[in-house]
Structure formats: C-alpha cells, structure tokens
Amino acid sequence: MADDNPVINQTGAGETQYNVAGNVDARKTINHHHYGTGPDAAQDAGEAAESSSGSGAAVATGSGGIALAAVAAIGYMIFGQGEPFPATSDPWPAGADEKAVVAAAGEWLANCEKSDAASPANCPQSVIEPLGTPSKVHWEFYGSPLESAVIRYSEADSRFDMLGTMVVSGDYMVANQPRRAVNLMTYWAKVKWLDGKLDVEEIKSHSALGDPEVAKRALDQPWEPVAAKLNAAFTRCVSGTASAMPAGCPDRQLPEDAKKIKWALAGDPLLTARASFDPKFGILRVKGTYGMTMNYRSLGVGESESHNANYEALVASTANGPAVLQIKETV
C-alpha cells in the first residue's frame, strides 16, 4: 500500500461549505433510508430523465436514458471504467417492495461489515497490503450507506440493481504494526428476484462514467462536539513514541533508528479550520492547518524537527457522536 491511510475516490463536488461556528452534518451508518427509484418510477419513453439532490437520481428513460447509456458504454470500452450501471428501469414486478430491496442489501452489507477477512467474498471492501497478510481486520461502514440509493429493475435478468455510497474504514495489523485504510466508495448491489423472493447475489465496489447521482441530506450537527473529537484525535496522534504516528494520523515518518521520540503539537490545529458536508458520501470534511515538533535521538545525537502542513479530516456520525476516521495531509 502506497499510503498507510489511503483515501480512494475522494471528491469535493457538491459539498456544502460551513463556517466552523455554524452547523454541519455527519450521520450514522445504516439507519437513514431515502431511496431513489421505486416500483412506480417507470416513465413513458418520451419523458426526460430526472435528478434530485433530495431523493437521489430518478429513473432515466427515453432519449436521455439512451444517451446516458451510450456515454457509459463508451467510457467502459475506451477508458477501462467498470461495467456501467443500468441507465433505465423496467417496470417493477407485482409484489416487489422498495423497502424490502433496500433491507436485503442492508442485511448483506451488515454481514460484510462483520467479516474479519481482508477481502470478504461478495462484499465491496478489501485491503491490499504489500507488507504482508493483514490480520485482526475490523471493518466499519459510515455515511448512511442505504440513504438515497438508486434502484433499477431488469426484467431480462429478474434482478434489482442498487447503487449507493458509503465510507469504509478498515483497521488491521501487518508486520506487527496497526494500519487503517479509509475508502470513499460507490457500491453496486445485485439482488435477484425469484418466485417473489429477494436474494443478494453480491455487492461490489463500482466506478463508471454516467453513474446516477447519489446525494444525501445534510442534518444539523453542532461544531463543538466535532471540534472536541478532532482535538482529541490530534492529541492521540502525538501521544505515541514510535517512529510513525498511529493509524489514522498524518503520514509522518522518522528515521528507523530514532530513539526517545517525543511528538508535540505546535499551535491550534482548529484555528483556521473550516467544515463542509460531502453529500455524495454523507460525511463531514474538515480542512485546516496543523504544526508539530519532533524531538528524538538518532545515532546518539539529539535531533529536533518542525513541521507545518494543511490537512483534511474525515468525520462521520455514529451513535456515540462524531468519529474522526482519518487525518491526512493535503497540498
């Protein structure tokens, strides 16, 4: 892994900017349901595609849907993007229920989250670690994975296709060192419809041109508890005595022979911080500047270094309040 704490597929598009004194949002994992297309969403052929930030993307049909499918197919063939998500939906079968489809996908995601495998079968998450085989893997899913999910039905395949987004955090051990991988992910759940019953075939990570929009609703979240958790996270980052900061902290590495290491913050990392809600992934991004000093001994000589950098912290909402998933240096 090129980075101890990789963030994949990050995007700031569509973010709502807040002053730190205002209200921001970060929400719980799987309990917020706000879906895209439903059984009554099939439209006439002449109707244009619709999209709403409050309800996800509606069914794309007619000439708009064909154009969208063509763009996705071209990207799939030329740019090596993933298999395109269906641009249109067939009429839903009698007896099919939108909430039941989402619940089936949610139960499967819950099983994926419970797995202690680095790459669980038929699940969207995985850890690829060049330093060895990961052990003691623990997954957490954030960002309301089921909210604003977009659902299509294929009569030919007798299958519901569901597109959603989430933030995946994986903590694990490798080479006797704790690591954390954070992935901002789009997933595709394939749910079979057979004899009136739903069966999840797989849920995989997904990226393709022309994907419908997933936009989650921002709820009020006071800044004070977010700031308190972020301050605590920075304190944890400088409390260790190893040559590298703990998992989830900025990727600062001292010489391997460094001894008697002491990290310390220099200044207030929240002094100029600003927070914004990312509607695609349902999390809060906090951007600011931090400084630190590093004192240690190398080859018997006392050394001292100072470092200043901009950072971005990813903050999710949980039942126990805001959780800082990662602090990463930015340009």
pLDDT per residue over 249-270, tens digit each? 998 877 778 888 899 999 999 9
The yes-or-no verdict on residue 37 having pLDDT over 70 is: no
Which percentage of the chain shows pLDDT scores above 70?
A: 75
The yes-or-no verdict on residue 2 having pLDDT over 50 is: no
24, burial (CB in 10 Å: exposed 0-12, middle 13-18, buried 19+): buried
The whole-number pLDDT of residue 81 equals 54
Distance CA(268)–CA(54), nearest Å, equals 36
Higher pLDDT, 70 or 55: 70
Domain range summary for the chain, segments of one domain joined by +? 28-205, 221-330
Apex 212 CA angle, 286 and 66, nearest 5: 155
Q: What average pLDDT does the segment 92-107 reach? A: 97
First-to-final CA distance of the chain = 20
The yes-or-no verdict on residue 167 having pLDDT over 90 is: yes
Write the pLDDT tens digit of every residue in 143-162.
999 999 999 999 999 999 99
For 101, the enclosing helix (H) or strand (E) is helix 98-114
Q: 300: pLDDT confidence band, cut at 50, 70 and 90?
A: confident
pTM of the model: 0.76
Is residue 258 within 8 A of residue 295, CB to CB? The reply is no
Q: What average pLDDT does the segment 203-216 reach? A: 93
The whole-number pLDDT of residue 32 equals 35
Distance CA(27)–CA(220), nearest Å, equals 10
> CB neighbours of 27 closer than 8 A, spacing ≥ 6?
143, 144, 216, 219, 282, 316, 317
Apex 104 CA angle, 278 and 201, nearest 5: 100
Query: Parallel, antiparallel, or unpaired: how do β-strands 177-194 and 197-205 relate?
Result: antiparallel
108, burial (CB in 10 Å: exposed 0-12, middle 13-18, buried 19+): buried
The yes-or-no verdict on residue 277 having pLDDT over 70 is: yes
The yes-or-no verdict on residue 123 having pLDDT over 80 is: yes
Query: Which residue stretches of 194-289 are H helix?
Result: 223-237
Query: How far from 82 is each of 6, 46, 253, CA to CA, in Å?
Result: 21, 28, 35
The residues facing 315 across adjacent strands are 284, 324
In total, the chain counts a number of residues equal to: 331
Rg (CA), the chain: 22
Q: What average pLDDT does the segment 303-326 reach? A: 94
For 66, the enclosing helix (H) or strand (E) is helix 62-78
Q: 242: pLDDT confidence band, cut at 50, 70 and 90?
A: confident
